[in-house]
Structure formats: C-alpha cells, structure tokens
Amino acid sequence: MKWQRIVLVLITLSLLVVPLAWSQGGTAEQHLKKLTDQVNAAMVKADINALEKLFADDYLGIHGDGSVLTKAQEIEGFKTGAIKYEKVDLQDVKVRVYGNTAVIVALASITNTRFGVQRTGSNRTTRVWVRQGGNWKCVSYQTTRVGK
C-alpha cells in the first residue's frame, strides 16, 4: 500500500513539473537560440544593458578582421557608435549543449560598421555559452567571412 502512494505522488508531481518546465522556455537548445537572437537584436539596437547581461565578464569576441575585443571594449564600441550593426540574420543555426556549456554555429548575413569600416556579407559564426549561477552567458564569439 505504501509504495502505491509513493508512485501516485511521483506521478502527480511529474504531471505538475513537466508542463511547468515546458512553459519555462522549452529545451536548452531553444532557450539558447532565443538568447542568441537577443544578442543579435541588442547589437542592432546598441542595447548596452542587454549586452551587459548577456555577455560574461570574461567575454572575448574575435571578429572578421582578426581583432579581439573584451566585453568592456565591445560595449564601449557600441556606446560611442564605433560599432554599429544594421542587420544580423542567422540561418543554418546548430546548437550543441554539453552540460553547462553550449556552442552555437550559424551562417550570418551581417551589415555593420566597425571602427569606420563598413562590411556587408555572409559570415560563419560561433558563440560559446556557459551557464553561470543558473544563467547562460556568452563567453566567446568568433566570426569568419564566407568567400565570394
């Protein structure tokens, strides 16, 4: 009798918890795609507050021109207008999750101006996310231009 009550309680709990988990944003892959979309939208809008929250303190970005920028340098570039994104459209997005780390690879169509140089074209991008204190933070970004 006792084990039947335990089974009943476990079934009841699972019926309550599973829908709650689904309402919290689906799978980790779906959540990370949304976060990546948020980073791209924040770059287009130059939304400093969003970038501050989404980038880890030790974030490093490696750009198509070979430059490497820290979180502070990226954010300062957006603040001053030295970095401006007009468009970031992703296709062929692939998300791989390894515990508290995730890698997102995509083909990006980008139009931006970085430090006086305007660029338009297709890039292969990689973002690395790490779960820190229960929140996903972007720790690294790398982009490579796709040949013509």
Domain harbouring 67, CATH code: 3.10.450.50
Three-state SS for the chain is CHHHHHHHHHHHHHHHHHHHHHHCCCCHHHHHHHHHHHHHHHHHHCCHHHHHHHEEEEEEEECCCCCEEEHHHHHHHHHHCCEEEEEEEEEEEEEEEECCEEEEEEEEEEEEEECCEEEEEEEEEEEEEEEECCEEEEEEEEEEECCC
81 in any annotated domain: yes
pLDDT digits (tens, 9 = 90+) for 73-94: 999 999 999 999 999 999 999 9
Instruction: Assign 60 a pLDDT band (cuts: 50, 70, 90).
Output: very high
pLDDT digits (tens, 9 = 90+) for 21-53: 443 447 999 999 999 999 999 999 999 999 999
Asked if residue 11 is part of any domain, the answer here is no
Q: Which domain, by its residues, includes 49? A: 27-145
Global confidence as pTM = 0.80
Structural domain contains residue 9:
no
